Amino acid sequence: MTADSTGAPMSGRTVQTLPPLGLGTWQNEDPEQCTQSVKQALELGYRHIDTAQIYRNEAAVGAGIEQAAVDRDDIILATKVWNDNLAHDDVISSTEASLNRLGVEYVDLLYVHWPVENFDPERTLSAFAELKERGLIEHVGLSNFTPEQLDQVQEAASVDIDAVQVECHPLLQQEALREYCSRHDIELVAYSPLARGDVFDIPELTDIADAHGVSEAQVSLAWLDAHDVRSIPKATSRDHIVDNFAATSLSLDQEQVRTIDAIDREDRQVHPSFAPSSW
């Protein structure tokens, strides 16, 4: 994943960095709406689009990429292998199917969506290594892993881990994973960076938002950026897509960052029944 100092991707593959802001697409299920959101976001300056096999919108996301006036090579496109596809051969065939639906020759980032069912650090990731060899994926990501699970993967896998995606926002600050990723030079991507709407009900964020004349959404995204965490807020409407992108011009001062750091809560929004018990 390569980007210049403004966060815009550029060709060549030497700098390990994602743009600060991308577009999430979970539950953006109406195909026309989804295509429109992706197209609008790309034309407004977004360069990272996040989808997954389980979102059932890869075709609509691909159509948005196809329709946008932006070169495919300038876009970081991420998808995720779902839980029942984690056996070696299923990783390969389901990723080929994702590429077909997306209408692209490669994805920039392919994640293991959850470390469950047939996930095996060696066997699952050997399939990721093969996909990389074949040029079908550029980078490897893991989603919903703990630092302990990341250690196990790094010991067993034959491929480098480039990105980790977890829920992260002011109500679930993920200090241990932030520290882990920084130490191992891995990109940390925050999902549900608006706490699925709960950031609008945090008095500390409202005070800071009022001081800057911006939304609480922007404050949450700017706080994540202050910690070098990349965000992928899901936004369907143009207004939300525009509002979130404005966060790339918002800088919080140290006191504001510390005020949010001090919010001592562990409010997880995404906790499916199959989540690992150690989680």
Ligand X SMILES: NC(=O)c1ccc[n+]([C@@H]2O[C@H](COP(=O)([O-])OP(=O)(O)OC[C@H]3O[C@@H](n4cnc5c(N)ncnc54)[C@H](OP(=O)(O)O)[C@@H]3O)[C@@H](O)[C@H]2O)c1
Residue of 2, 16, 26, 156 that binds ligand X (CB under 6 A): 26
Asked if 39 touches ligand X (CB under 6 A), the answer is: no
Q: In angstroms, give the least distance from the CB of 3 to ligand X.
A: 19
State the number of binding residues for ligand X (CB under 6 A): 27
| Residues within window 178-217 making contact with ligand X, judged by CB under 6 A | 191-197, 215, 217
Residue among 53 and 144 whose Cβ is closer to ligand X = 144
Asked if 124 touches ligand X (CB under 6 A), the answer is: no
- Out of 55, 111, 180, 191, pick the active-site residue: 55
Asked if 107 touches ligand X (CB under 6 A), the answer is: no
DSSP character string of the chain: --B-TTS-B-SSS------SB-EE-TT--SHHHHHHHHHHHHHHT--EEE--GGGT-HHHHHHHHHHSSS-GGG-EEEEEE-GGG-SHHHHHHHHHHHHHHHT-S-EEEEEE--S-TT--HHHHHHHHHHHHHTTSEEEEEEES--HHHHHHHHHH-SS---EEEEE-BTTB--HHHHHHHHHHT-EEEEESTTGGGGGGG-HHHHHHHHHHTS-HHHHHHHHHHHTT-EE--B--SHHHHHHHHGGGG----HHHHHHHHT------S---TTS-TT-
Asked if 25 touches ligand X (CB under 6 A), the answer is: yes
Task: Decide if 46 is catalytic.
Answer: no
Q: In angstroms, give the least distance from the CB of 46 to ligand X.
A: 12
Asked if 236 touches ligand X (CB under 6 A), the answer is: yes
Asked if 72 touches ligand X (CB under 6 A), the answer is: no
Q: In angstroms, give the least distance from the CB of 27 to ligand X.
A: 6
Interface with ligand X (CB under 6 A): 24-26, 50, 113, 143-144, 165, 191-197, 215, 217, 232-237, 240, 243-244, 270
Task: List active site positions.
Answer: 55
